[in-house]
Amino acid sequence: MNAHWGAVVVAAGRGSRMGTAESKQYLPLHGKPILVHTLELFQAMDEIADIALVVGESDVERCKGLVMEYKLSKVTAVVAGGSERQHSVYAGIKSLSPAAEWVMVHDGVRPLITKKAIRACCEKAEHSGAAVLAVPVKDTIKQVDDSGLIVATPDRRSLWAIQTPQAFRRDLLTSAHERAVAEHFLGTDDAMVVERTGAPVAIAEGDYTNIKITTPEDLPWAEFLLEKRMERGE
């Protein structure tokens, strides 16, 4: 990684699939909020100069407190997100320092990301302009219609499960988001926003432990993975 990188960490979701009163990004993992684990990893990377943290409007002050408490000095902006993930990402990009020519976007609820995986993704992006972390799917995937009948079995060899970070030249990501706003397009990740402009987006192979904490069964799994890493001194 040679370029000047900024990171947008999005954490403005409600976590409805987790079903807890407290939004999942603030739930404790080994005694620390999930979101803090994620931010500490980015803070510890020399290649990352600047982090924009995007949170719910009512959590902005609370998160400024977490930034102070955990000495997250690279978090230069804590801003309110929007009703959809894509809106939150766009708010984050706009609040990053103008010096960041390259941007990676990461889910605040993927605390098990590693420096090695971040570097692999960013290096691919520096080569091709845009890259996303992903793993090959392990299951057979079926396309199913509204009546519950299988309509197709896509060839698994071409299917990848997409993760974050997703890394881009900043001007490419910014113009793709501007176009999506103008055309009322909503995607579930940033690669989709960029793909529709015709720009190539590369895959960087990650690993299966970079889970997105989404539903209750993900929490003990994340605790277990984190414990194993700590035992290995990582």
Ligand X SMILES: C[C@](O)(CO)[C@H](O)COP(=O)(O)O
Ligand Y SMILES: Nc1ccn([C@@H]2O[C@H](COP(=O)(O)OP(=O)(O)OP(=O)(O)O)[C@@H](O)[C@H]2O)c(=O)n1
Contact set with ligand X (CB under 6 A): 85, 107, 162-164, 188-189, 212
162 binds, options ligand X, ligand Y, none, Cβ within 5 to 8 A by partner type: ligand X
Query: Among 168, 189, 161, 172, which residue's Cα sits nearest to residue 125?
Result: 168
CA distances from 10 to 53, 56, 82 (A): 6, 10, 10
Please identify, using beta-carbon distances, which residue of 48 and 88 lies nearer to ligand Y. 88
Please identify, using beta-carbon distances, which residue of 17 and 71 lies nearer to ligand X. 17
Please identify, using beta-carbon distances, which residue of 89 and 122 lies nearer to ligand Y. 89
CB of 212 to ligand X, least distance (A): 5
- Which residue's CB comes closest to ligand X? 189
128 binds, options ligand X, ligand Y, none, Cβ within 5 to 8 A by partner type: none
Question: CA torsion sign, 182 to 185 to 191 to 194?
Answer: negative
188 binds, options ligand X, ligand Y, none, Cβ within 5 to 8 A by partner type: ligand X
CB of 125 to ligand Y, least distance (A): 20
64 binds, options ligand Y, ligand X, none, Cβ within 5 to 8 A by partner type: none
Please identify, using beta-carbon distances, which residue of 50 and 190 lies nearer to ligand Y. 190
Using CA atoms, how far apart are residues 60 and 186, in angstroms rounded to an integer? 24
The contacts of residue 50 (CB under 8 Å, 6+ apart) are: 6, 7, 74, 76, 96, 97, 99, 100
Angle CA 175–178–181, to nearest 5: 150
The answer to whether residues 156 and 137 touch, using CB atoms and an 8 Å cutoff, is: yes
